[in-house]
Amino acid sequence: MSHKFGNFLDEIFKVKFKKTIKNEFNYYQENGYIEYRVGCDLCGKGKSCGLKTNIIKFFKTNSFNLNELEIDFNNTWYTNDVLEFNLMYETSNKKIIEKIYNLYLKLYLLNEELTSNYKIKISSTHTENVGIVNITSTFCQDENNISYEELKNIKNVHICPDCFKLFILINESECKKYFIKQNPLKYFWIDFVVTHLHDMIDFESETSKKSFYDKYIK
């Protein structure tokens, strides 16, 4: 499974650092971990962990291509580990997205009812109920579910393998053709740009910036 941002981009995007990034530079130099937080848009389950990128190497050069960004394995908690993430099934078909959204709303209501006995933790001394811990979902923003009007602006959604099978069972198998298998690191990189790099960089041109955001940002 590829870990380079460039593998998810179909053109070169040249950027340069803004002059006022001293605090950001210090963070990446001293720590540098960025949260990988990718979940299924339907059930909300996923994985959260810290990953490092090679962004620090570009601070001295000032300008670089987004395509050159990649996961850094040196001197990290996962240096000698194999990173495992759930494959995602992605769709950009508006009708399919609406079907997934409608199913999401139904599951959300069920989750509200079942949250107190979703999981249990067992230790040598006691057992306790644990509520639902959702990683993230495109359909939930600022802790609120988006509206049907806001749904029109969603470019694509991704669901985990289990939810994909459930969705195909509920709907006609013909729906399979509207999905592609997607490397979940794509969503890590997009979040990295939106959450962290957005205020640190300028694109080579407004045209380049518009092209990037139109294609990759929801």
The predicted-structure confidence for 26-54, as pLDDT tens digits, reads as follows 888 888 899 998 999 998 888 889 999 99
Residue keyed to tokens 């205020």: 199
Angle CA(205)–CA(206)–CA(212) in degrees, nearest 5?
95
Residue 111: count other Cβ atoms within 10 Å of its Cβ. 15
The domains of the chain are located at 5-86+181-211, 88-180
Mean pLDDT confidence for 153-179: 91
Nearest to 180 by CA among 97, 101, 87, 91: 91
pLDDT at 15: 94
Confidence of residue 117 (pLDDT cuts 50, 70, 90): very low
pLDDT at 174: 82
Contacts of residue 104, defined as CB under 8 A and 6 or more positions apart, other chains included, come to 41, 42, 137, 139, 145
pLDDT, tens only, 88-111: 999 999 999 999 999 998 887 766
Strands of the 71-72 sheet, one edge to the other: 33-39, 46-53, 71-72
Distances (CA, A) of 137 to 114, 141, 152: 19, 8, 16
